[in-house]
């Protein structure tokens, strides 16, 4: 059974269809990228998957349970980190636990156990304004993980970072997600990012947005900074570009 599944999702606004007949599946421990140009409907699809909006038709299943239009069941990290400027880093990442009813001490303990692993050791009492862009994204990712360990929806979490910081976070994120076995769908319009991070890639195209292709990504050896120069990586990149252009 897929951990998250969408069946025939359609959504219109003011009579204009934005996404049409979208079906996809996310397997346990898998990272799937949703790749497409800006404005294709990727964020609308995430709003449907997260339950923030109801589709006009179709349904969303979480481990077989119909959760269509029911928010709070999966974690959704939007493009901006949305850290509260008046709270410390530790209090920011603890928010999902506190909202779920955990006492402050217990929430601090559970989050504190992961701070070092998420590259935030020593920053517990700092405020978001004191952090680099990369560290802010790490804090937002930890907060998303604490909201739901089952499924994370990540909407271009690294898009605002410079290339060097982004590359470093890619490698770090791969190691963390493999250790914890998280299942994630990752929105991006960066082809290299999609290939590097993903087990599979869905390509969205058209108006309204539809899933027009699905690729299984199998790269040889470790996914490090040199993998983008491999023949396999370049092959996938050419294939994706061809799908998007067609």
Full DSSP string of the chain: --SEEEEEEEEEETTEEEEEEEEEEE-TT-EEEEE--TTSSHHHHHHHHTTSS--SEEEEEETTEE-TT--SSSEEE-SS----TTS-HHHHHHHHHHHTT--HHHHHHHHHHHHTTTT-TT-TT--GGGS-HHHHHHHHHHHHHHH-SSEEEEESTTTTS-HHHHHHHHHHHHHHHHHHT-EEEEEES-HHHHHHH-SEEEEEETTTBEEEEEEE---SS---TTGGGSHHHHHHHHHHHHHHH-
Q: pLDDT grade, residue 60 (50/70/90)? A: very high
Q: Residue 245 — pLDDT band, cuts 50, 70, 90?
A: confident
pLDDT confidence of residue 164: 80
**Per-domain residue ranges of the chain:** 10-74+150-246, 83-147
Structure tokens at 169: 């976070």
Average pLDDT score over residue span 142-156: 86
The predicted-structure confidence for 22-58, as pLDDT tens digits, reads as follows 999 999 989 999 998 888 889 999 999 999 999 999 9
In sequence order, the 6+-apart residues with CB closer than 8 A to the CB of 143 are 77, 83, 92, 93, 95, 96
Q: Are 31 and 197 in contact (CB under 8 A)?
A: yes
Which pLDDT tens digit goes with each residue over 73-130? 888 888 777 888 899 999 999 988 888 888 988 989 988 888 888 888 888 899 999 9
* Homologous superfamily of 10-74+150-246: P-loop containing nucleotide triphosphate hydrolases (3.40.50.300)
Q: What is the pLDDT of residue 68?
A: 93
Sheet holding 151-155, edge to edge: 75-77, 151-155, 183-188, 31-35, 200-205, 210-216
Contact in structure between 146 and 93 (CB atoms under 8 Å): yes
């Amino acid at each position: 059974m897929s951990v998250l599944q969408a069946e025939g999702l359609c959504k219109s606004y003011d009579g204009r269809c934005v996404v049409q007949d979208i079906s996809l599946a996310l397997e346990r421990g898998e990272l799937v990228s949703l790749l497409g140009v800006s404005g294709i409907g990727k964020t609308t699809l995430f709003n449907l998957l997260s339950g923030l909006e109801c589709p006009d038709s179709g349904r969303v299943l979480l481990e077989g349970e119909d959760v269509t239009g029911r928010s709070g069941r999966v974690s959704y990290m939007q493009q901006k980190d949305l850290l509260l400027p008046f709270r410390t880093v530790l209090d920011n990442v603890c928010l999902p636990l506190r909202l779920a009813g955990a006492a402050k001490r217990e929430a601090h303990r559970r989050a504190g156990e992961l701070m070092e692993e998420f590259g935030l050791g020593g920053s517990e009492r700092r405020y978001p304004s004191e952090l680099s862009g990369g560290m802010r994204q790490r804090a937002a990712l930890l907060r998303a993980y604490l909201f739901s360990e089952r499924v994370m929806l990540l909407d271009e979490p690294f898009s605002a970072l410079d290339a060097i910081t982004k590359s470093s976070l890619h490698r770090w994120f791969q190691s963390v997600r493999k250790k914890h076995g998280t299942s994630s769908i990752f929105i991006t319009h960066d082809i290299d990012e999609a290939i590097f991070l993903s087990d599979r890639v869905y390509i969205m195209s058209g108006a309204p947005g539809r899933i027009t292709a699905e690729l299984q990504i199998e790269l040889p050896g470790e996914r490090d900074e040199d993998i983008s120069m491999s023949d396999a990586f370049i092959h996938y990149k050419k294939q994706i570009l061809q799908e998007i252009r067609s």
